Chain A
Amino acid sequence: MRVYIGKRLLEIVPTVLMITLVVFVMMRSIPGDPVVALLGDAYTEEDAIKVRAEYGLERPILVQYVIWLGKLLQGDWGVSILNGRPVLHDVLLRLPVTFELIALSMAVALAISIPAAIIGAVRRNTWADYTATTIAMVGVSIPEFFIGVLLLLTFSIGMSGALPSSGWVYLPGTCPTIVCAAGLLGNAQHVLMPALALGVGRAALLTRLLRASMLEVIRTEYVTTARAKGLAERPVIFKHALKNALIPTITVMGLQVGFLIGGAIVVETLFAMPGLGTFGIDAIIARDYQQVQGFALVTAIAFVVINLLVDLTYTFLDPRIRYTG
């Protein structure tokens, strides 16, 4: 097992290298560069050449990539071209915000989908099942940002502004500067709508998948056996059926990570949250090469690590699955 994890961790390296390299080449193949935006009205050809030389932008793209990689290995993520701040510093500031958003939205998704799927599968073709499947169908058809807008309309515009429509209050202890709002209640108020917006869509998808695989598992021999030996319905469903039904569901969840990252970008933009999503989209649009590389790096690592975690979850859900080196 340990050998397997080690091997998989090593496999992360080429994937992350490839993603960052492709992003690097693609960003620099866009006509125009951030130097024009940086110099603004004061733009002169000489200044531009000087600034480009300062950031090494006049060298061949692959050489630039190797330089970036070399610095990265020394822990230097580079400095933003547009605002001069170290990229790693900004990434570390914003990572907890996005992490909290994604973790909570997954919690929302699981909290809704597991009961809904079980009801749908166990009470198949009853009104409870039809309600659950209909709501799930509606849920998978609504884009995150529209759920967000509906939440905004309900809780920020309606209900006399019960929840704040934008901004952020940090969790105590994660506050990046001396002058910033931090507090548990404020944080909860700010994260609630974004987490719901991102979580509800996932919940709908999960419900559909989990219900289908529950229906398959319930028909299997070991569930019949469990019932035949007199086990109560509850342990049969939770211990025998649910655990096995979760396996294909979790695989698809792993594949959904790419969509979750997009969802985070959209939801953070809608609620004006200072997370990695808004950091990434702003950097890409402004063509701040260094920031984009930082964003691509974090995203790639998260993407690969989550997929590894998905594979490792299998061993917990199904002890027969054993990874050997």
Chain B
Amino acid sequence: MAERDARTRPMPPPIRGGSTREVDLPAQVTTWRPTEAAESESPFMQGLRRLRKSVTALIGLAVVVLLVVVAIFADVLAPYNPIANDQTSTFQRPSWEHPLGTDQLGRDMLSRIIHGTRISLLVGVSSVLLALFVGVPFGLIAGYYGGRIDRGIMRAMDLILAFPIYLLAIILMVIFTPTAGLIGTMKVTGAIAIVRIPIYARLVRGSVLSIKEKEYIEACRALGVRDPSILFRHVLPNCLAPIIVTTTLGVATSIIVEATLSFLGLGTQPPTPSWGWDLKANVAFIQANVWLSLFPGLAIFVTVLGFNLFGDGLRDALDPRLK
């Protein structure tokens, strides 16, 4: 982003000490923006403006918004009941009646994909939120208090991190015993959240370690502000940028993990429509109907791509240092 600006905007020559080398460094050339200097925008607004200029991030955001709309209005948008069998029309190829065809039970694929959006988004977003909800306070406390508390919390986090992520998620799902419907979805959410808690705890702890040494935190303490207030009102807002970025990209990862668990038969159980499960079930019939395994896979791909594009754009906009 910075480089693109540097080419289009007029730029005063960088005033720096003797080294000729630095002139060539695009990353260190600060773009001179008269409007910005005059208005002194908040970093958040600057980030938003940078985000608005990134085409890929906007495409990502559009995909995400579209998927959210599809998930919310799935009942209205889906032409058929996603779990209604119709033995008279199995393995139909895409047609006007069934735009994406039907599966081995005669269920309309388009309706299943539309309803599958709910599971994917619900698990993807809520597992990350759940992991944040547990991981962020742990990270805050560990980083802020240090010492024995820090060692205790981080030891527990390392214990989870020591596991290959899928081994833990698979065993957790076997313990929870996968079921259908909302309960089944919540189980998957829980399993994915548990394996992802340490990521946020570590991230936040790292930021807190540097922030807590800042003068304004010292000032808070001197004024007698209570610890919880310092942590949530002064420390947390200052480590939000990396959290937001990791969260967006984390949703993409969680959606892939959910699809993988479903693919292995350990996600939300049928008849609840789930992309991973549909893909797996239809691979068996790949000879009979090529389309069936293609569409759920495409749906997963587009969703993950949307969150990845948006997350990448957010990273560039909110915190250019995070690469």
Contacts and interface: CB of A to CB of B under 8 A. Distances in A.
Interface of B: 3, 21, 25, 27, 159, 162-167, 169-172, 174-175, 177, 252, 256-257, 259-260, 263-266, 276, 279-280, 283, 286-287, 290, 293-294, 297-298, 300-301, 304-305, 308-309, 312, 323
Contacts of B170: 265, 281, 284
A266 B174 contact: no
Given A141-B301, A141-B308, A149 B283 contact: yes
Leading 9 A-B pairs by shortest Cβ distance: A262-B166, A146-B297, A258-B164, A141-B305, A258-B165, A141-B304, A261-B164, A143-B256, A149-B293
Contact of A143 (B25, B259, B290): B259
Contact of A150 (B21, B27, B297): B297
Given A18-B159, A143-B260, A152-B286, A258 B297 contact: no
Interface residues of A, number: 48
Nearest to B257: A262
A265 B264 CA distance: 9
A141 B252 CA distance: 8
Interface in A97-126: 125
A123 to B, nearest CB: 14
A231 interface: no
A296 interface: yes
A287 B300 CA distance: 30
B175 A137 contact: no
Contacts of A261: 164, 166-167
A224 B287 contact: no
Interface stretch (A23-31, A60-68, A83-91, A316-324): A23-31
A153 B264 contact: no
Nearest to A265: B166
Contact of A266 (B25, B264, B308): B264
B165 A153 contact: no
21 contacts: A27-B174, A30-B174, A137-B308, A137-B312, A138-B305, A141-B308, A142-B301, A143-B256, A143-B259, A143-B263, A145-B259, A145-B263, A157-B287, A165-B286, A224-B21, A258-B166, A262-B164, A262-B167, A265-B264, A284-B171, A296-B167
Interface of A: 15, 18-19, 22-23, 26-27, 29-31, 125, 137-138, 140-146, 149-150, 152-153, 157, 165, 212, 216, 219, 221, 224, 257-259, 261-262, 265-266, 269-270, 280-281, 284-285, 287, 296, 299, 303
A265 B294 CA distance: 21
A177 B64 CA distance: 52
A224 B163 CA distance: 42
A221 B257 CA distance: 41
A299 B165 CA distance: 11
B175 A19 contact: no
A219 B283 CA distance: 48
Contacts of A146: 279, 297-298, 300-301
Nearest to B293: A149
Contacts of A138: 301, 305
Contacts of B300: 143, 146
Contact of B171 (A26, A140, A216): A26
B264 A281 contact: yes
A292 to B, nearest CB: 8
A29 B175 contact: yes
A153 B27 CA distance: 45
A299 B164 contact: yes
A261 B175 CA distance: 20
A270 B283 contact: yes
B174 A145 contact: no
